[in-house]
Structure 1
Protein backbone atom coordinates (compact mmCIF):
# COMPACT_ATOMS: atom_id res chain seq x y z
CA UNK A 1 0.00 0.00 0.00
CA UNK A 2 1.38 3.41 -0.96
CA UNK A 3 1.96 5.92 1.81
CA UNK A 4 0.19 9.31 1.86
CA UNK A 5 2.17 12.09 0.18
CA UNK A 6 2.81 15.22 2.24
CA UNK A 7 1.17 18.45 1.15
CA UNK A 8 3.50 20.24 -1.28
CA UNK A 9 3.52 24.04 -1.67
CA UNK A 10 2.95 25.08 -5.28
CA UNK A 11 6.31 26.83 -5.64
CA UNK A 12 8.28 23.67 -4.73
CA UNK A 13 6.26 21.04 -6.56
CA UNK A 14 8.56 18.51 -8.26
CA UNK A 15 11.40 19.45 -5.90
CA UNK A 16 13.24 17.20 -3.45
CA UNK A 17 12.18 17.75 0.17
CA UNK A 18 15.73 17.06 1.33
CA UNK A 19 17.84 19.24 -1.00
CA UNK A 20 15.53 21.23 -3.30
CA UNK A 21 16.76 19.65 -6.55
CA UNK A 22 14.19 18.91 -9.28
CA UNK A 23 12.87 15.38 -8.87
CA UNK A 24 10.22 12.94 -10.00
CA UNK A 25 10.61 10.30 -7.27
CA UNK A 26 9.29 9.82 -3.76
CA UNK A 27 10.76 8.50 -0.55
CA UNK A 28 8.44 6.38 1.58
CA UNK A 29 9.18 6.76 5.26
CA UNK A 30 7.76 3.97 7.39
CA UNK A 31 7.66 5.64 10.77
CA UNK A 32 8.43 3.71 13.96
CA UNK A 33 5.89 4.02 16.75
CA UNK A 34 8.01 6.60 18.61
CA UNK A 35 8.55 8.87 15.58
CA UNK A 36 5.96 11.42 16.61
CA UNK A 37 4.46 11.46 13.11
CA UNK A 38 2.74 8.91 10.85
CA UNK A 39 4.27 7.03 7.94
CA UNK A 40 4.32 9.24 4.87
CA UNK A 41 5.96 9.95 1.55
CA UNK A 42 7.99 13.00 0.48
CA UNK A 43 9.32 14.06 -2.94
CA UNK A 44 12.99 13.11 -3.31
CA UNK A 45 15.74 13.08 -5.89
CA UNK A 46 17.43 9.72 -6.49
CA UNK A 47 20.57 10.66 -4.55
CA UNK A 48 18.72 11.81 -1.44
CA UNK A 49 16.27 8.92 -1.62
CA UNK A 50 19.15 6.43 -1.67
CA UNK A 51 20.83 8.20 1.24
CA UNK A 52 17.57 8.33 3.21
CA UNK A 53 17.05 4.58 2.82
CA UNK A 54 20.38 4.02 4.56
CA UNK A 55 19.60 6.39 7.46
CA UNK A 56 15.92 6.04 8.49
CA UNK A 57 16.73 6.72 12.19
CA UNK A 58 13.86 7.55 14.53
CA UNK A 59 11.90 10.14 12.54
CA UNK A 60 11.83 11.75 9.12
CA UNK A 61 13.39 14.88 10.62
CA UNK A 62 16.36 12.90 11.93
CA UNK A 63 16.56 11.15 8.57
CA UNK A 64 16.80 14.54 6.83
CA UNK A 65 19.63 15.61 9.16
CA UNK A 66 21.53 12.43 8.29
CA UNK A 67 20.98 13.01 4.56
CA UNK A 68 22.28 16.59 4.85
CA UNK A 69 25.39 15.41 6.68
CA UNK A 70 25.97 12.72 4.05
CA UNK A 71 25.64 15.28 1.23
CA UNK A 72 28.12 17.54 3.00
CA UNK A 73 30.67 14.73 3.25
CA UNK A 74 30.10 13.75 -0.37
CA UNK A 75 30.51 17.28 -1.74
CA UNK A 76 33.20 18.56 0.61
CA UNK A 77 35.50 19.35 -2.35
CA UNK A 78 32.77 21.39 -4.07
CA UNK A 79 32.07 23.33 -0.87
CA UNK A 80 35.80 23.90 -0.38
CA UNK A 81 35.83 25.97 -3.59
CA UNK A 82 34.07 28.73 -1.68
CA UNK A 83 36.71 28.53 1.05
CA UNK A 84 39.62 28.96 -1.34
CA UNK A 85 38.20 31.33 -3.97
CA UNK A 86 35.73 34.14 -4.47
CA UNK A 87 33.66 34.29 -7.63
CA UNK A 88 35.63 37.32 -8.81
CA UNK A 89 38.98 35.61 -8.19
CA UNK A 90 37.93 32.64 -10.29
CA UNK A 91 36.68 34.84 -13.12
CA UNK A 92 39.92 36.82 -13.16
CA UNK A 93 42.30 33.86 -12.77
CA UNK A 94 44.71 33.48 -15.68
CA UNK A 95 44.73 29.72 -16.17
CA UNK A 96 46.64 28.39 -19.18
CA UNK A 97 46.17 24.64 -18.62
CA UNK A 98 43.01 23.29 -20.30
CA UNK A 99 42.11 21.28 -17.22
CA UNK A 100 42.28 24.39 -15.03
CA UNK A 101 40.34 26.39 -17.61
CA UNK A 102 37.59 23.79 -17.41
CA UNK A 103 37.69 24.07 -13.60
CA UNK A 104 37.46 27.86 -13.90
CA UNK A 105 34.28 27.62 -15.99
CA UNK A 106 32.46 25.17 -13.75
CA UNK A 107 33.88 25.57 -10.24
CA UNK A 108 31.69 28.36 -8.88
CA UNK A 109 28.58 26.79 -10.38
CA UNK A 110 29.41 23.48 -8.64
CA UNK A 111 30.01 25.32 -5.36
CA UNK A 112 26.70 27.18 -5.53
CA UNK A 113 24.75 24.02 -6.33
CA UNK A 114 26.34 22.15 -3.43
CA UNK A 115 25.78 25.06 -1.04
CA UNK A 116 22.15 25.52 -2.10
CA UNK A 117 21.44 21.81 -1.62
CA UNK A 118 22.95 21.84 1.86
CA UNK A 119 21.15 25.07 2.82
CA UNK A 120 17.73 24.04 1.47
CA UNK A 121 15.44 23.90 4.48
CA UNK A 122 12.60 21.94 2.94
CA UNK A 123 9.08 22.92 3.88
CA UNK A 124 7.00 22.17 6.99
CA UNK A 125 5.47 18.71 6.92
CA UNK A 126 1.71 18.95 6.52
CA UNK A 127 -0.56 15.99 5.83
CA UNK A 128 -4.08 16.68 4.55
CA UNK A 129 -3.87 20.20 5.93
CA UNK A 130 -2.71 19.11 9.40
CA UNK A 131 0.83 20.28 10.39
CA UNK A 132 3.05 17.56 11.82
CA UNK A 133 5.01 18.41 14.94
CA UNK A 134 8.78 18.55 14.67
CA UNK A 135 10.15 16.63 17.64
CA UNK A 136 13.87 17.34 17.18
CA UNK A 137 15.61 20.16 19.06
CA UNK A 138 16.99 22.82 16.74
CA UNK A 139 20.76 22.27 16.67
CA UNK A 140 21.38 24.05 13.36
CA UNK A 141 24.48 26.20 13.03
CA UNK A 142 25.33 28.68 10.26
CA UNK A 143 28.80 29.84 9.33
CA UNK A 144 30.23 31.51 6.24
CA UNK A 145 26.99 31.18 4.27
CA UNK A 146 26.48 27.46 4.89
CA UNK A 147 23.83 25.94 7.16
CA UNK A 148 25.04 22.95 9.15
CA UNK A 149 22.92 20.48 11.08
CA UNK A 150 25.07 21.13 14.15
CA UNK A 151 28.36 22.63 15.32
CA UNK A 152 29.75 19.08 15.24
CA UNK A 153 28.88 18.82 11.53
CA UNK A 154 30.64 22.15 10.91
CA UNK A 155 33.76 20.91 12.71
CA UNK A 156 33.70 17.70 10.65
CA UNK A 157 33.34 19.68 7.42
CA UNK A 158 36.08 22.23 8.03
CA UNK A 159 38.35 19.61 9.53
CA UNK A 160 38.15 17.62 6.31
CA UNK A 161 38.11 20.56 3.88
CA UNK A 162 41.12 22.27 5.49
CA UNK A 163 42.93 19.17 6.79
CA UNK A 164 42.62 20.46 10.36
CA UNK A 165 43.00 18.47 13.56
CA UNK A 166 39.31 17.95 14.34
CA UNK A 167 39.92 17.07 17.99
CA UNK A 168 41.96 20.25 18.43
CA UNK A 169 39.34 22.37 16.66
CA UNK A 170 36.58 20.78 18.72
CA UNK A 171 38.48 21.53 21.92
CA UNK A 172 38.91 25.18 20.94
CA UNK A 173 35.22 25.57 20.12
CA UNK A 174 34.23 23.90 23.39
CA UNK A 175 36.20 26.55 25.29
CA UNK A 176 35.51 29.76 23.37
CA UNK A 177 32.01 28.93 22.09
CA UNK A 178 30.45 28.51 18.67
CA UNK A 179 29.94 32.27 18.33
CA UNK A 180 33.73 32.52 17.80
CA UNK A 181 33.89 29.66 15.32
CA UNK A 182 35.84 31.75 12.81
CA UNK A 183 38.54 32.44 15.38
CA UNK A 184 38.66 28.73 16.26
CA UNK A 185 39.33 27.86 12.61
CA UNK A 186 42.05 30.50 12.32
CA UNK A 187 43.74 29.20 15.46
CA UNK A 188 43.52 25.59 14.26
CA UNK A 189 45.04 26.60 10.90
CA UNK A 190 47.80 28.51 12.67
CA UNK A 191 48.77 25.28 14.46
CA UNK A 192 48.30 23.02 11.45
CA UNK A 193 51.78 21.48 11.81
CA UNK A 194 52.20 21.94 15.56
CA UNK A 195 52.89 18.86 17.64
CA UNK A 196 50.49 17.45 20.23
CA UNK A 197 52.31 19.09 23.15
CA UNK A 198 51.99 22.54 21.58
CA UNK A 199 48.28 22.01 20.94
CA UNK A 200 47.74 20.93 24.55
CA UNK A 201 49.50 24.09 25.68
CA UNK A 202 47.20 26.19 23.47
CA UNK A 203 44.17 24.53 25.04
CA UNK A 204 45.54 25.18 28.55
CA UNK A 205 46.13 28.84 27.72
CA UNK A 206 42.61 29.20 26.35
CA UNK A 207 41.20 27.66 29.53
CA UNK A 208 43.27 30.06 31.62
CA UNK A 209 42.05 33.02 29.56
CA UNK A 210 38.44 31.92 30.01
CA UNK A 211 38.97 31.45 33.74
CA UNK A 212 40.49 34.92 34.06
CA UNK A 213 37.70 36.50 32.01
CA UNK A 214 35.02 34.94 34.20
Structure 2
Protein backbone atom coordinates (compact mmCIF):
# COMPACT_ATOMS: atom_id res chain seq x y z
CA UNK A 1 0.00 0.00 0.00
CA UNK A 2 1.07 3.58 -0.59
CA UNK A 3 1.62 5.68 2.53
CA UNK A 4 -1.20 4.13 4.61
CA UNK A 5 -0.66 6.81 7.29
CA UNK A 6 -2.45 9.38 5.11
CA UNK A 7 -6.26 9.43 5.48
CA UNK A 8 -8.35 8.61 2.42
CA UNK A 9 -10.07 11.37 0.53
CA UNK A 10 -13.35 12.37 2.22
CA UNK A 11 -16.51 10.71 1.01
CA UNK A 12 -19.34 8.44 2.03
CA UNK A 13 -18.22 5.26 3.80
CA UNK A 14 -18.43 2.15 1.68
CA UNK A 15 -21.30 0.06 3.06
CA UNK A 16 -20.93 -2.91 0.73
CA UNK A 17 -21.77 -6.28 2.21
CA UNK A 18 -19.32 -9.03 1.17
CA UNK A 19 -20.07 -10.00 -2.43
CA UNK A 20 -18.35 -11.44 -5.47
CA UNK A 21 -17.23 -9.03 -8.16
CA UNK A 22 -19.20 -9.55 -11.36
CA UNK A 23 -16.41 -9.75 -13.95
CA UNK A 24 -17.14 -11.94 -16.97
CA UNK A 25 -14.07 -14.00 -17.79
CA UNK A 26 -12.18 -13.20 -14.58
CA UNK A 27 -10.02 -16.31 -13.92
CA UNK A 28 -10.35 -16.17 -10.13
CA UNK A 29 -13.04 -15.38 -7.59
CA UNK A 30 -12.72 -11.91 -6.07
CA UNK A 31 -14.77 -10.84 -3.05
CA UNK A 32 -15.30 -7.21 -2.01
CA UNK A 33 -16.46 -5.88 1.36
CA UNK A 34 -16.73 -2.37 2.82
CA UNK A 35 -15.83 -1.30 6.34
CA UNK A 36 -19.23 0.35 6.65
CA UNK A 37 -20.79 -3.13 6.64
CA UNK A 38 -19.28 -3.87 10.04
CA UNK A 39 -21.81 -3.48 12.84
CA UNK A 40 -21.07 -4.28 16.51
CA UNK A 41 -22.77 -7.66 16.08
CA UNK A 42 -20.83 -8.49 12.93
CA UNK A 43 -17.58 -7.51 14.63
CA UNK A 44 -18.32 -9.98 17.43
CA UNK A 45 -19.14 -12.71 14.92
CA UNK A 46 -15.85 -12.19 13.06
CA UNK A 47 -13.82 -11.90 16.27
CA UNK A 48 -15.06 -15.35 17.27
CA UNK A 49 -13.44 -16.81 14.14
CA UNK A 50 -9.92 -15.49 14.75
CA UNK A 51 -7.05 -17.49 16.20
CA UNK A 52 -5.12 -16.31 19.27
CA UNK A 53 -2.30 -15.16 16.99
CA UNK A 54 -4.74 -13.14 14.89
CA UNK A 55 -6.18 -11.56 18.03
CA UNK A 56 -2.66 -10.49 19.03
CA UNK A 57 -2.05 -9.01 15.59
CA UNK A 58 -5.38 -7.20 15.74
CA UNK A 59 -4.45 -5.55 19.05
CA UNK A 60 -1.21 -4.21 17.56
CA UNK A 61 -3.19 -1.86 15.35
CA UNK A 62 -3.88 1.38 17.24
CA UNK A 63 -6.34 3.04 14.86
CA UNK A 64 -9.89 1.68 14.77
CA UNK A 65 -10.02 1.74 10.94
CA UNK A 66 -6.82 -0.33 10.78
CA UNK A 67 -8.32 -2.81 13.24
CA UNK A 68 -11.51 -3.01 11.17
CA UNK A 69 -9.57 -3.62 7.94
CA UNK A 70 -7.63 -6.45 9.56
CA UNK A 71 -10.72 -7.97 11.21
CA UNK A 72 -12.85 -7.78 8.08
CA UNK A 73 -10.09 -9.20 5.92
CA UNK A 74 -9.25 -12.16 8.15
CA UNK A 75 -12.89 -12.84 8.96
CA UNK A 76 -13.89 -12.77 5.30
CA UNK A 77 -10.93 -15.02 4.46
CA UNK A 78 -11.93 -17.61 7.05
CA UNK A 79 -15.59 -17.54 6.05
CA UNK A 80 -14.96 -17.96 2.33
CA UNK A 81 -12.26 -20.61 2.73
CA UNK A 82 -14.40 -22.56 5.18
CA UNK A 83 -17.33 -22.36 2.78
CA UNK A 84 -15.19 -23.51 -0.16
CA UNK A 85 -13.78 -26.51 1.72
CA UNK A 86 -16.73 -27.46 3.90
CA UNK A 87 -14.81 -26.72 7.12
CA UNK A 88 -15.48 -24.61 10.19
CA UNK A 89 -13.84 -21.20 9.58
CA UNK A 90 -12.43 -20.98 13.11
CA UNK A 91 -10.56 -24.29 12.70
CA UNK A 92 -8.49 -23.23 9.70
CA UNK A 93 -4.75 -22.92 10.25
CA UNK A 94 -2.26 -20.84 8.31
CA UNK A 95 1.49 -20.72 7.80
CA UNK A 96 3.75 -18.06 6.33
CA UNK A 97 5.81 -18.72 3.22
CA UNK A 98 9.45 -17.61 2.71
CA UNK A 99 8.36 -14.05 1.82
CA UNK A 100 5.63 -13.84 4.45
CA UNK A 101 2.74 -14.79 2.16
CA UNK A 102 0.10 -16.76 4.11
CA UNK A 103 -0.95 -20.25 3.03
CA UNK A 104 -3.22 -22.96 4.40
CA UNK A 105 -1.68 -25.63 6.62
CA UNK A 106 -2.63 -29.13 7.70
CA UNK A 107 -5.32 -29.86 5.11
CA UNK A 108 -3.48 -32.26 2.80
CA UNK A 109 -4.54 -31.88 -0.81
CA UNK A 110 -6.77 -28.91 0.10
CA UNK A 111 -3.65 -26.90 0.98
CA UNK A 112 -3.41 -26.10 -2.74
CA UNK A 113 -6.25 -23.55 -2.51
CA UNK A 114 -4.65 -20.16 -3.17
CA UNK A 115 -5.77 -16.82 -1.73
CA UNK A 116 -4.68 -13.24 -1.22
CA UNK A 117 -6.03 -10.24 0.69
CA UNK A 118 -5.76 -6.50 0.06
CA UNK A 119 -7.27 -3.44 1.68
CA UNK A 120 -7.18 0.32 1.31
CA UNK A 121 -9.46 3.09 2.49
CA UNK A 122 -12.85 1.52 3.18
CA UNK A 123 -12.50 -1.55 0.95
CA UNK A 124 -11.23 -5.09 1.53
CA UNK A 125 -10.63 -7.50 -1.37
CA UNK A 126 -10.13 -11.28 -1.22
CA UNK A 127 -9.00 -13.30 -4.25
CA UNK A 128 -9.36 -17.10 -4.41
CA UNK A 129 -8.18 -19.71 -6.92
CA UNK A 130 -8.27 -23.53 -6.60
CA UNK A 131 -4.56 -23.97 -7.37
CA UNK A 132 -2.85 -21.06 -9.15
CA UNK A 133 -0.88 -18.53 -7.07
CA UNK A 134 -2.93 -15.35 -6.91
CA UNK A 135 -2.31 -11.76 -5.89
CA UNK A 136 -4.70 -8.84 -5.51
CA UNK A 137 -4.21 -5.16 -4.72
CA UNK A 138 -6.49 -2.18 -4.15
CA UNK A 139 -5.62 1.49 -3.66
CA UNK A 140 -7.80 4.37 -2.51
CA UNK A 141 -7.24 7.60 -4.42
CA UNK A 142 -5.77 10.29 -2.17
CA UNK A 143 -5.62 13.76 -3.74
CA UNK A 144 -2.22 15.37 -3.46
CA UNK A 145 -0.23 12.12 -3.52
CA UNK A 146 3.25 12.85 -4.92
CA UNK A 147 3.21 9.83 -7.21
CA UNK A 148 6.03 10.73 -9.63
CA UNK A 149 8.97 9.74 -7.37
CA UNK A 150 7.23 6.45 -6.59
CA UNK A 151 6.62 5.75 -10.28
CA UNK A 152 10.19 6.67 -11.19
CA UNK A 153 11.63 4.34 -8.55
CA UNK A 154 9.36 1.31 -8.76
CA UNK A 155 7.32 1.13 -11.98
CA UNK A 156 8.68 -0.50 -15.15
CA UNK A 157 10.67 1.61 -17.57
CA UNK A 158 8.49 3.86 -19.69
CA UNK A 159 5.50 3.96 -17.29
CA UNK A 160 6.29 7.45 -16.01
CA UNK A 161 6.34 8.84 -19.54
CA UNK A 162 3.04 7.13 -20.34
CA UNK A 163 1.43 8.57 -17.21
CA UNK A 164 2.73 12.10 -17.80
CA UNK A 165 1.22 12.00 -21.30
CA UNK A 166 -2.26 11.56 -19.79
CA UNK A 167 -4.51 14.57 -19.10
CA UNK A 168 -3.64 16.00 -15.65
CA UNK A 169 -6.96 14.88 -14.19
CA UNK A 170 -6.25 11.25 -15.13
CA UNK A 171 -2.63 10.94 -14.04
CA UNK A 172 -3.20 9.96 -10.40
CA UNK A 173 -5.81 7.31 -11.22
CA UNK A 174 -3.55 6.03 -14.01
CA UNK A 175 -0.62 5.77 -11.62
CA UNK A 176 -2.71 3.89 -9.05
CA UNK A 177 -3.80 1.37 -11.68
CA UNK A 178 -0.17 0.75 -12.69
CA UNK A 179 0.77 0.46 -9.03
CA UNK A 180 -1.97 -2.10 -8.37
CA UNK A 181 -0.76 -4.20 -11.29
CA UNK A 182 2.77 -4.12 -9.88
CA UNK A 183 1.69 -5.00 -6.34
CA UNK A 184 -0.71 -7.75 -7.42
CA UNK A 185 2.00 -9.34 -9.56
CA UNK A 186 4.54 -9.24 -6.74
CA UNK A 187 2.01 -10.72 -4.32
CA UNK A 188 1.20 -13.55 -6.73
CA UNK A 189 4.90 -14.42 -6.96
CA UNK A 190 5.40 -13.99 -3.21
CA UNK A 191 8.06 -11.30 -3.69
CA UNK A 192 8.46 -7.83 -2.24
CA UNK A 193 9.13 -4.43 -3.77
CA UNK A 194 12.84 -5.26 -4.02
CA UNK A 195 11.87 -7.40 -7.03
CA UNK A 196 9.85 -4.63 -8.69
CA UNK A 197 12.45 -4.01 -11.39
CA UNK A 198 12.79 -7.66 -12.40
CA UNK A 199 11.09 -8.96 -15.56
CA UNK A 200 7.67 -10.51 -14.84
CA UNK A 201 7.73 -14.31 -14.63
CA UNK A 202 6.45 -16.29 -17.63
CA UNK A 203 2.71 -16.87 -17.54
CA UNK A 204 1.85 -13.96 -15.25
CA UNK A 205 -1.69 -12.71 -15.97
CA UNK A 206 -2.88 -9.24 -14.93
CA UNK A 207 -6.54 -8.20 -14.81
CA UNK A 208 -7.77 -4.73 -13.84
CA UNK A 209 -10.79 -4.74 -11.53
CA UNK A 210 -13.88 -2.55 -11.73
CA UNK A 211 -14.25 -1.02 -8.28
CA UNK A 212 -16.24 1.84 -6.73
CA UNK A 213 -15.27 5.35 -7.80
CA UNK A 214 -12.05 6.53 -6.19
CA UNK A 215 -10.46 3.07 -6.07
CA UNK A 216 -8.12 1.14 -8.36
CA UNK A 217 -7.52 -2.60 -8.21
CA UNK A 218 -5.81 -5.44 -10.03
CA UNK A 219 -5.71 -9.23 -9.92
CA UNK A 220 -2.65 -11.31 -10.84
CA UNK A 221 -2.28 -15.05 -11.41
CA UNK A 222 0.66 -17.32 -12.19
Task: State the TM-score, normalized to the length of structure 2.
Answer: 0.28
Greater helix content: 1
Greater strand content: 2
Task: State the TM-score, normalized to the length of structure 1.
Answer: 0.29
